[in-house]
């Protein structure tokens, strides 16, 4: 749908459809009245036009009154409103439409004058101060200006931890999910059977332990255990800090924690693949590993993409717990600035908004990525399907031979045998 069509549909919804015209524009008018009642800022362009602002205010009030009359008429003439209402007359409908446009314009003017210009005036005043202002918004602007480097470094560290931790966890999850879904094959010897059973049980145990303990506890165990091990080697605290920093410990924590969750997500996506895919691959001569790598796993990964993408969003938020071991992420940076200015609510509101922006940006990018990969992989169907290509799926590089051609050749051979 083009932009012009969308605007046309919106205009019809807001102005032409009289079931909604007064409801929507009365809400807009109420917002405009609220802005009109707000105090003017030093940068208000309506400050010298008092008569114009009064006229705008009473116009919005009159529109609310007109909307109330239309609502009462609607309630009292529910069944025959379209035939009896004066607001649905052909001569009146264009007037109502243009008046509704004027309501929106007046509200936008008041919004710009009170909200945008007010914010600009507050920012200008706060930046010119030599001490922290008392008002909420001015204090936020002042602290952000003075502590931009600290907050910025915290944001960069949070993004690095979440992105790299998720990528490392993805590859570790691939390894563990192969161990987790291994089954005993008839051709396996005793040693291979032991390895498969051991790998599967290890993956189960890892998932249970990691998902059953908080990330905060895991971070403290990993950091202090690593510090203790290096300390026993005779290294000094300074030398240990150069090898086992809080950032490295936090990255290890996020990677190992996300691995357990992503492993279960991948396992669910693989198990969602039709079992006939694996059976068909085995019937074509592929081993268990080949069938899993070339047929089942690519389809399972695509099934799990939405949940895998969500893990990045979760890591952006959960990285805040790493501040307990001294990782200089966004939460640690916020606590640092709080310790400087002793303003808790203002700074934690900023931290919440930054986390919200990061998660929304990650969700949008991952949504684009998932949409780019939305094309379903060409599945390896069962032997009853007439459109399977053997060479492509098996990865042999041979030419494509569909099963219907095979069936035709078999039938031709049977006919020749019967003629003999």
The answer to whether residue 11 scores a pLDDT higher than 50 is no
pLDDT of residue 336: 94
* Spatial CA neighbour of 292 closest among 148, 404, 165, 178: 178
The pLDDT tens digits of the residues spanning 302-351 come to 777 777 778 889 999 999 999 999 999 999 999 999 999 998 999 999 99
Query: For the residues 34-41, what does the mean pLDDT come to?
Result: 91
Structure tokens at 155: 């944001």
Q: How far apart are CA 23 and CA 368, in angstroms?
A: 35
Backbone angles phi, psi at 402, to 5 degrees: -80, 160
pLDDT at residue 374, as a whole number: 60
HSE of 43, CA atoms in CB hemisphere, 13 A: 14
Looking at 149-153, 293-297, 365-369, 400-404, which range is the least confident one? Answer: 400-404
Residue of 59, 86, 58 whose CA lies nearest to 70: 86
49 versus 385: the higher-pLDDT residue is 49
The predicted model scores a pTM of: 0.73
Q: CA 248 to CA 345: how far, in whole Å?
A: 30
* Domain boundaries 148-383, corresponding CATH code: 1.10.3720.10
**Per-residue pLDDT tens over the stretch 382-404:** 333 333 333 333 333 333 333 44
pLDDT above 70: percentage of residues in the chain:
82
Q: What are phi and psi of 389, to 5 degrees?
A: -105, 120
Q: Would you state the pLDDT for residue 4?
A: 54
Q: How is the chain split into domains, by residue range?
A: 3-128, 148-383, 386-420
Return the top range by mean pLDDT from 79-93, 105-119, 128-142, 269-283: 105-119
Which one, of 365, 330, 347, 353, lies nearest residue 132 by Cα? 347
Q: Burial, 216: exposed, middle or buried (Cβ in 10 Å; 0-12, 13-18, 19+)?
A: middle
Q: How far apart are CA 392 and CA 22, in angstroms?
A: 61
User: Using one digit for the tens of pLDDT, what is the confidence trace for 257-296?
Assistant: 999 999 988 888 877 777 777 778 777 777 666 777 777 7
Span 121-129, average pLDDT: 90
Of 71-85, 215-229, 286-300, give the lowest mean pLDDT range: 286-300
Rounded to whole angstroms, how far apart are CA atoms 26 and 18?
A: 13
Tokens of 117: 């210009």
Band (420; pLDDT cuts 50, 70, 90): very low
Assign 14 a pLDDT band (cuts: 50, 70, 90).
very low
Query: How sure is the predictor about 109, in pLDDT bands with cuts at 50, 70 and 90?
Result: very high
Higher-confidence residue of 356 and 380: namely 356
Compare 387 and 52 and report the one with higher pLDDT.
52
Structure tokens belonging to residue 101: 């446009």
Mean pLDDT (whole number) for 84-96: 82
The predicted model gives 75-92 an average pLDDT of: 78
Give the span between the Cα atoms of 368 and 362, in whole angstroms: 10
Mean pLDDT of the chain: 81
Among residues of the chain, what percentage have pLDDT more than 90? 42
Greater pLDDT, 414 or 201 = 201
Q: What is the maximum span of the chain, computed from C-alpha positions, in angstroms?
A: 108
Contact 122, 135 (CB under 8 A): yes
Cα→Cα distances 25→15, 78, 100, 367, Å: 8, 21, 6, 33
What are the residues whose beta carbons fall under 8 Å from the beta carbon of 273, sequence distance 6 or more? 296, 299, 300, 303
Confidence of residue 102 (pLDDT cuts 50, 70, 90): very high
Residue 58 has pLDDT above 90, yes or no: yes
Contact (CB, 8 A) for 320 and 330 = yes
């Amino acid at each position: 749908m083009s932009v012009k069509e969308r605007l046309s549909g919106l205009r019809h919804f807001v102005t032409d459809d009289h079931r909604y015209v007064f409801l929507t524009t009365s809400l807009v008018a109420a917002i405009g009245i609220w802005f009109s009642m707000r105090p003017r800022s030093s940068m208000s362009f309506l400050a010298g036009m008092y008569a114009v602002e009064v006229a705008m205010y009473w116009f919005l009030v009159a529109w609310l009154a007109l909307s109330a009359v239309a609502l009462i008429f609607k309630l009292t003439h529910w069944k025959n409103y379209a035939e009896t209402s004066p607001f649905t007359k052909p001569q009146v409908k264009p007037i109502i439409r243009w008046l509704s446009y004027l309501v929106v314009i007046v509200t936008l003017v008041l919004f710009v004058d009170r909200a945008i210009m007010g914010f600009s005036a507050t920012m200008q005043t706060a930046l010119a101060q030599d001490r922290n202002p008392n008002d909420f918004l001015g204090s936020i602007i002042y602290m952000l200006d003075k502590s931009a480097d600290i907050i910025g470094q915290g944001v960069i560290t949070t993004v690095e931890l979440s992105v790299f931790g998720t990528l490392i966890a993805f590859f570790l999850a691939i390894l563990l999910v192969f161990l987790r879904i291994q089954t005993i094959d008839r051709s396996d010897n005793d040693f291979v059977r032991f390895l498969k059973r051991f790998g599967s049980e290890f993956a189960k145990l890892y998932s249970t332990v990691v998902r059953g303990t908080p990330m905060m506890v895991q971070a403290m165990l990993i950091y202090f255990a690593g510090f203790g091990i290096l300390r026993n080697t005779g290294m000094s605290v300074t030398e240990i800090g150069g090898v086992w920093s809080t950032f490295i410990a936090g990255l290890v924590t996020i990677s190992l924690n996300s691995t357990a969750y992503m492993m279960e997500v991948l396992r669910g996506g693989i198990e969602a693949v039709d079992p006939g895919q694996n059976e068909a691959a085995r019937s074509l001569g592929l081993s268990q590993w080949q069938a899993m790598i070339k047929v089942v796993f690519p389809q399972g990964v695509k099934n799990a993409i939405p949940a895998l993408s969500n893990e990045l969003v979760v890591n952006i938020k959960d990285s805040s717990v790493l501040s307990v071991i001294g990782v200089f992420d966004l939460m640690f940076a916020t606590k640092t600035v709080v310790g400087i200015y002793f303003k808790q609510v203002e700074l934690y509101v900023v931290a919440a908004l930054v986390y919200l922006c990061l998660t929304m940006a990650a969700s949008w990018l991952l949504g684009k990525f998932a949409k780019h990969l939305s094309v379903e992989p060409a599945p390896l169907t069962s032997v009853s399907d007439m459109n399977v290509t053997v060479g492509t799926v098996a990865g042999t590089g041979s030419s494509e031979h569909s099963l219907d051609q095979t069936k035709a050749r078999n039938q031709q051979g049977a006919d020749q045998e019967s003629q003999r």
